[in-house]
Structure 1
Amino acid sequence: MFDGLHDIDWASMGHAYGSAEEVPGLLAALRSPDAEERREALDRFYSAVHHQGSVYPPTAASLPFLFELAVDGATPDRAAVVALMVSIGRESLDRGFEDDGTEIEYYPPMGCGQAVAFLRERADGITELARDADPGVRLAAIPGLGLFLDDADRAAAVLRERLAAERGMAARLRIAAAAATLALRLPVASRQVMDWLTGLAADPDQGPATRLAALVQRARCAPDEIGEDVVPAAVGLLRETARAIPVRRIAPVPEHPAVSTDGVAPQIVEAFADLDRHTRVLAPTTALLRTFHDALGARVPERTAVLAEQLSSPDPGSRLDAVRMSGELMRAWRGDHTGLLLLVADQLTTADAEVAAEAAAVLESCHPIAAPAREALAAHIDAQLAQYGPDVWAAPEAPLRRSHQEAVRALARLGDARALPMLLTALDSDVDAWRAIQVAEHLPQAADQLVPRLCDHLRRIDLSQQWTEMSARAILSALAALGDPAAVPSVVHTLVAAQGHGQDRVTQSALQALRAFGPAAGGALDAIRSLTTAANVHVSRAAVAALWAVGRDRGEILSVLLGLLDEDTSFCVDDAADLLGEMGPSASVALPRLREHLADDYTWIRVHCAAALWEIGGEAEAPAVVDALLHAMAENPRTANHVVACLDRMGPLAAPALPLLRAQLALPRRGGRFQSIGNDEELQRVSRTLIARLDPPNEPTDHETHRAGRPA
């Protein structure tokens, strides 16, 4: 086995983490009799050689040896090897080729063409793997029938044969998916495959899951042909499928070997735990339904109808997966999501704490639109307090603890004071206090209770430890948002400590907090001023911004800002333009340089400088400002929040923006900075207000009112 393995110069090739010289050892370990050695080798292969789906030269060069392992009946864990081999081929097709089939040129070469060519040459072997006696091997190989067989008629025949032979739901779902992949990859196969899928979907002799899979995969083949009857049919089949699947409790999260988290920020630990949760798929139909949602795309009402059925499943795992998909829909697509929010909120009352926790987490992540769920969140929290007592925030059962904490955080993000007692409990007990700190800024009405506790936490942070950076910055951000000048001494103390320990990012955050306090932080002026010449450019520009906000001395700051306008770094120019705009007409000396920046290649520089031009020059600059803003937004839609905010300040002079504003509102996907719900909702709100102001609906004249039969 492995003839020629050591003839390859693996050390000359690289993977995600450096030299590929370890690859022969990993391949050999995949045949080890030691299960733990095999698991570690497979994990390492996925993390380094096939990192996040990447196909490097050593990834492609490994395929002949993976194929040897796959077809050798003595290989342990053959299904895992076949799955790895198919994954490499699938990613090679997805990443390495244009839609017209031409290979994408990479530097250095990534090996995608080599990988696909090898697997296509092994079409007979892949077909036999799909017929293997081991059901796990068959399941792993089935997708390869759609990916690598180039004879369309033969591939379709093998898929029909496998469907007739396979009884398991997982295999039948994969066969339907492989058929759609074949139709999309080989146009010559599309008609016969789509006709076959259409027939399967209507065949009463097939089980509901098979019919649902055929219906969904047919929709995937031609999304533009999805008719009005498809979603109702899918909902009906989904209901039948749910009745046919045994209801199972959600299995506990698999135990990982104990890993020390000493010296790791709790936010990082939780981020990895969250990643683990989101990689778990709990229902056999989840991948199929994700495919259906992808095919439906912008049809938000239809997708909501499907999710409503998913959320009514008797199976808790199916509902948990549906809760996650609901969050994905609301975060990515515009529309009236009130009904879906209420359906997600209904999951708070389930007996399964993991489902309730996921529902609360989705409501928190969607908090800019989650107001309809406010009372459900409050009721959930009250019920938990009544059942488990005031210590439920620190409950030892992880699902219950997360369910409570996520609900409290979601309610707090809605600005609801009913979340305050639990936040204070967290801050006082120091149990998962970081989770309370992240949402404290949304309760400014309770600043008198929150700020002293936040300052106490800030003073106790040991900035000699680099891992404490995230916690310090989160507290500083919360204090800045709450805006209570009583926090200034603690912020200044942190500023000095951060400088002493070389914590530049904490220093920057402290300066940003002092900026938020404005003149109330006047006692910190000397400390701020000393940092305007800091070596770290992020610190120095934060100090300049704080110096202006706190000192308000134009003479001191203007020359510095003019210098920043000439920097090569875009964020320096952006920040300088913003501060000059705050100064207004008194910064008119900057107008010539700002006008020059309207021709900059970088859209963000144009946007910030155009906004400053308006604030400083006013009506005289309006034509150039509007033109720059509209071109920037058309070129880079992520500038839309900044653009629309400036247009809103311009009033009637922004009238030329009406067509672009209407076009922006007509987009089904969320837009704005980072395409987040918050930014997009603000973008829509300001755009609608601006359109109404610039083009109000015509009021009926007295004559028109009289003709309509109404009193004038």
Structure 2
Amino acid sequence: MINEYEKLLAGLDDVDWASLSHAYESAHDVPGHIRALCGDDDEARNQAFSSLFNSIFHQGSRYSASPVAVPFLARIAVAGPAAARADTMWLLTRLAVGWHDEYDVTTGINVAGWRAAAAEAGPEEFLPWYDEELAGATDTDERAQLQELRDWVAAGNSPDSRWSALQSYDAVLAELPGLLVLLDDDDAPLRTRIAYLLAWFPEFSTTSLPRLLALAAHDKDPVTAATALLAAGLLGPPSMAEDITPHLDAADPLMRWAAATALIHLANLEETPVGPGLIGRAVTELTAAARSPFDRITDYCEGDLHGHIQRTLRSLRPGSNPDTVREALDACLPRIVWDSSGLRTRKAIQELFPAPLPHPAPRYADLTAAQQQLLGDLAGHRHAWLIRSSAERLRDIGLPHTQEALQSYIGTHGTA
């Protein structure tokens, strides 16, 4: 451990981690992983991040140890080793919102609804049920298991994931005042990460909105500025459109994309001042981004620009220009960069290949440009499981259904 970071971990060993849980039962190993984040061993630090993601944030689930870890992680994000700060911010974001940011990217998170659902699933709601089950249980092992669970609930825990996730969200919310200093950090990735995190805390928007708008207007890093601009659009009231609209004329296409996305979100709100002409400009900008994607990406939808544009356009209220929207959606259709469930990929295959191909399959070069784009994206995709999840559909239409076979098909038949 590097002594200069010891102060960040004050109180770490005072927590009874063994009494807390994570995905692998006892959380006794969490303090060791947090301490490794402040060490000078890069391999150990990377392993610690991996272990924390897999334990206190396991496939999106949060546990009793998750909110307890948040204050220590926040300190590391603000003043920890340079190599650990941005990744720590990403872990804090995941602990706060899970994968909600992907699903709620066009609407912002409905925290009020989340709180209402969690209130109906708190420990006090489950305790009577466990008492009733215990009263009727006769098997010794069953009673012991029920008693253990009952004691855990009586200690202030709930088996409902909405409740446990909200505990972590609120823990991060409590740290936001201290994390705001990152908006002025010299490191652009850290400014970007805090801007992105703020997008999912509407209850903090009175404080965060002016800072986000200032960041969008003045930050020299285009990714940071665009992230802040879209965050402001997700958090702001309908009147925020007045602040967003000038950015449609920005020189940087990434800023124009962020402004267009924010305006479409605002257009879906009640009493919005965003008229059809402005929506048309926004759709046109998103179409241009889909056709000519930029190399720089934001954290929204994990950098999947086309997936993000597609979700945004599908959120438009009925009555928007269908021809223009269809053109933009068609440009997004074959682009598969990241698809966490594989659903968008399978829909794209179905739409671009609505019927089985003749046998033998046509040459890759004879396919349509959109079909080529989709298969090319799949052949070079970083996650082979995405192709495995679509293998049955690919097989049914007469196409290679493994990544290796797709690569061979494209390489062998890609030219005349």
TM-score, normalised relative to structure 2: 0.64
Q: Give, as a single letter, the amino acid of the residue that structure 2 aligns with 1:72.
A: A
For the 8 Å contact 1:139–1:170, the answer to whether it is kept is yes
The question of 1:403 aligning with 2:372 is answered no
CA separation of 1:336 and 1:30: change in aligned 2, threshold 3 A: closer
| Number of matched pairs | 336
Equivalent position to 1:169, from 222, 236, 250: 222
For the 8 Å contact 2:95–2:168, the answer to whether it is kept is yes
Question: What is the aligned partner in structure 2 of residue 35 from structure 1?
Answer: 42
User: SS at the partner of 1:167?
Assistant: coil
Q: Give, as a single letter, the amino acid of the residue that structure 2 aligns with 1:195.
A: E
User: SS at the partner of 1:32?
Assistant: coil
Residue correspondence of structure 1 range 510-589 to structure 2 within 5 A = none
Q: CA deviation at 1:170?
A: 2.4
User: SS at the partner of 2:315?
Assistant: helix
CA separation of 1:294 and 1:368: change in aligned 2, threshold 3 A: farther
CA separation of 1:152 and 1:48: change in aligned 2, threshold 3 A: closer
| Greater helix content | 1
Deviation sequence 1:275-326 (CA, Å, 0-9, x none)? xxxxx9676x346425424524999976652243347xxxxxx944399999
Q: CA deviation at 1:32?
A: 1.6
Question: What is the aligned partner in structure 1 of residue 331 from structure 2?
Answer: 309
- Aligned partners of 2:390 and 2:22: how far apart in 1? 39
Q: Give, as a single letter, the amino acid of the residue that structure 2 aligns with 1:129.
A: L
Question: What is the aligned partner in structure 2 of residue 215 from structure 1?
Answer: 260
Deviation sequence 1:376-409 (CA, Å, 0-9, x none)? x6xxx8xxxxxxxxxxx9xxxx9653334799xx
Question: What is the aligned partner in structure 2 of residue 130 from structure 1?
Answer: 183
Deviation sequence 1:111-152 (CA, Å, 0-9, x none)? 545434443333332221122111121121112333347454
- Larger RCO: 1 or 2 (CA < 8 Å, sep 6+): 2
| Structure whose alpha-carbon radius of gyration is higher | 1
Q: CA deviation at 1:84?
A: 1.0
For the 8 Å contact 1:83–1:140, the answer to whether it is kept is yes
Equivalent position to 2:242, from 166, 187, 195: 195
Question: What is the aligned partner in structure 2 of residue 497 from structure 1?
Answer: none
CA separation of 1:352 and 1:213: change in aligned 2, threshold 3 A: same
- Aligned partners of 1:146 and 1:130: how far apart in 2? 13
Equivalent position to 1:234, from 275, 278, 283: 283
Residue correspondence of structure 1 range 239-388 to structure 2 within 5 A = 239=288, 245=294, 285-286=305-306, 288-293=308-313, 295-296=315-316, 304-310=326-332, 319-321=335-337, 328=344, 331=347, 344-347=370-373, 354=380, 366=393
CA separation of 1:349 and 1:103: change in aligned 2, threshold 3 A: closer
Question: What is the aligned partner in structure 1 of residue 68 from structure 2?
Answer: 61
Residue correspondence of structure 1 range 585-596 to structure 2 within 5 A = none
For the 8 Å contact 2:21–2:27, the answer to whether it is kept is yes
Question: What is the aligned partner in structure 1 of residue 134 from structure 2?
Answer: none
Q: Give, as a single letter, the amino acid of the residue that structure 1 aligns with 2:330.
A: A
What residue ranges of structure 1 are gaps of 5+ in the alignment?
184-189, 248-279, 312-317, 382-392, 408-712
Residue correspondence of structure 1 range 684-699 to structure 2 within 5 A = none
Equivalent position to 2:194, from 107, 117, 141: 141
TM-score, normalised relative to structure 1: 0.40
Deviation sequence 1:156-191 (CA, Å, 0-9, x none)? 2101111123233322332133113323xxxxxx12
CA separation of 1:126 and 1:156: change in aligned 2, threshold 3 A: same
Question: What is the aligned partner in structure 1 of residue 116 from structure 2?
Answer: 102
For the 8 Å contact 1:176–1:213, the answer to whether it is kept is yes
- Aligned partners of 1:223 and 1:61: how far apart in 2? 37
Question: What is the aligned partner in structure 2 of residue 178 from structure 1?
Answer: 231
CA separation of 1:206 and 1:405: change in aligned 2, threshold 3 A: closer
The sequence identity of aligned pairs, in percent, is: 20
CA separation of 1:71 and 1:296: change in aligned 2, threshold 3 A: same
User: SS at the partner of 2:33?
Assistant: helix
CA separation of 1:206 and 1:154: change in aligned 2, threshold 3 A: farther
- Aligned partners of 1:352 and 1:130: how far apart in 2? 37
CA separation of 1:15 and 1:297: change in aligned 2, threshold 3 A: farther
- Aligned partners of 1:180 and 1:64: how far apart in 2? 28
RMSD (Å) for aligned C-alpha atoms: 4.8
For the 8 Å contact 1:13–1:58, the answer to whether it is kept is yes
- Aligned partners of 1:120 and 1:132: how far apart in 2? 20
Q: CA deviation at 1:196?
A: 2.2
- Aligned partners of 2:74 and 2:18: how far apart in 1? 22
- Aligned partners of 1:118 and 1:112: how far apart in 2? 10
Q: CA deviation at 1:96?
A: 10
CA separation of 1:349 and 1:112: change in aligned 2, threshold 3 A: closer
- Aligned partners of 2:346 and 2:375: how far apart in 1? 21
Q: CA deviation at 1:75?
A: 5.2
What residue ranges of structure 2 are gaps of 5+ in the alignment?
1-6, 102-108, 124-156, 356-366, 412-416
Equivalent position to 2:98, from 66, 82, 91: 91
- Aligned partners of 2:211 and 2:289: how far apart in 1? 28
User: SS at the partner of 2:53?
Assistant: helix
Residue correspondence of structure 1 range 312-711 to structure 2 within 5 A = 319-321=335-337, 328=344, 331=347, 344-347=370-373, 354=380, 366=393, 401-404=405-408
- Aligned partners of 1:85 and 1:214: how far apart in 2? 26
- Aligned partners of 2:167 and 2:184: how far apart in 1? 26
User: SS at the partner of 1:76?
Assistant: helix
- Aligned partners of 1:301 and 1:241: how far apart in 2? 15
- Aligned partners of 2:371 and 2:288: how far apart in 1? 21
CA separation of 1:90 and 1:304: change in aligned 2, threshold 3 A: same
- Aligned partners of 1:88 and 1:24: how far apart in 2? 16
- Aligned partners of 1:14 and 1:406: how far apart in 2? 48
CA separation of 1:331 and 1:93: change in aligned 2, threshold 3 A: closer
Q: CA deviation at 1:200?
A: 2.6
Question: What is the aligned partner in structure 1 of residue 148 from structure 2?
Answer: none
CA separation of 1:55 and 1:327: change in aligned 2, threshold 3 A: closer
For the 8 Å contact 1:180–1:193, the answer to whether it is kept is yes
- Aligned partners of 2:341 and 2:165: how far apart in 1? 31
Deviation sequence 1:419-476 (CA, Å, 0-9, x none)? xxxxxxxxxxxxxxxxxxxxxxxxxxxxxxxxxxxxxxxxxxxxxxxxxxxxxxxxxx
